[in-house]
Amino acid sequence: MDKSGKIFFASDFHLGLKVGGDPAERERRVVKWLESVASEAAGIYLLGDIFDFWWEYRHVVPKGFTRFLGSVSAITDSGVPVYFFTGNHDMWVGDYLTAECGITIHNGVMERDFGGRRFLLAHGEGLGSTEKGYKLLLWLFRNRAVRTAWSALHPRIGMGIGHRWSLGSRLGKGEHIAFLGEEKEDLLRFARSVTAKREVDYFIFGHRHLPMTYTIDNKSRVVILGDWIGGSSWAVWDGAELNLIVNR
């Protein structure tokens, strides 16, 4: 359990993405936000796709991100825990962020109690999805043999392919992202399947790039954090209420 104080949640910074604005300016916005909330934070949860692409070799890590990494290191050095959830763009982290920056890495879904309320946290890729092709792609991304083979590539080749793949995503192409409705939204479908079995007060997801809240059966609340491509958005739990803050 985190110490007494506010809990902050953010996702989808996509640091390094050269679409939707200057990536250096986006990194500065992220750092400014981190530094603004650190003094009152009991914990900071970064729910995936923090980097637009990250592949960590045994002795090589991606170039850049020094402002972000320095800011996070200062925050963890001060005693505030920072949790990094891997997303579909940065699931290939190793031990570098933990060893050098003090970040706690988490894969998949986490459930925690804050102030007597039950929270389910995840980036969200694949949850509730019925697309077999997408599930196969995620399986390949996570497959140990595939990752070992990729790591054998020279970083110039591996990172080059990775960045080109990222630019081929809907986000990289600049495609419009719209709400599909409760029945077609994978994360809402997943949340409903969970609440059919047990009580969860709050679901917090990234991945979908739509800052929004949705209430299921007038009880459980789903918060999708949005992204930092054209603005900024995050959620904060103050011990009594969960609020989504959107700046566009």
- Per-residue pLDDT tens listing for the chain (248 residues): 455 689 999 999 999 998 878 999 999 999 999 999 999 999 999 999 999 988 888 888 888 899 999 999 999 999 999 999 999 888 888 899 999 999 999 999 999 999 999 999 999 998 988 888 878 888 777 888 877 877 777 777 777 777 776 666 666 555 667 778 888 899 999 999 999 999 999 999 999 999 999 999 888 999 999 999 988 999 999 999 999 999 98
Domain 6-247, CATH homologous superfamily name and number: Metallo-dependent phosphatases (3.60.21.10)
Dist. CA 17–CA 7, nearest whole Å = 27
pLDDT at 193: 94
| Position 218, amino acid | N
Backbone torsions φ then ψ of 217, nearest 5 degrees: 55, 35
Q: Is 187 helix (H, G, I), strand (E, B) or coil?
A: helix
How many other CB atoms sit within 10 Å of the CB of residue 84? 23
Separation CA 90–CA 103 (nearest Å): 14
Token reading at 1: 């359990």
Strand, coil or helix: 134: helix
Query: pTM above the 0.85 mark?
Result: yes
Q: Is 122 helix (H, G, I), strand (E, B) or coil?
A: strand
Whether the CB-CB separation of 185 and 179 falls below 8 Å is answered with yes
| Sequence-distant contacts of 57-62: CB under 8 A, at least 24 apart | 57/151, 57/155, 57/158, 58/94, 58/151, 60/155, 61/96, 62/16, 62/159
φ, ψ of residue 195 to 5 degrees: the values are: -70, -15
pLDDT at 1: 43
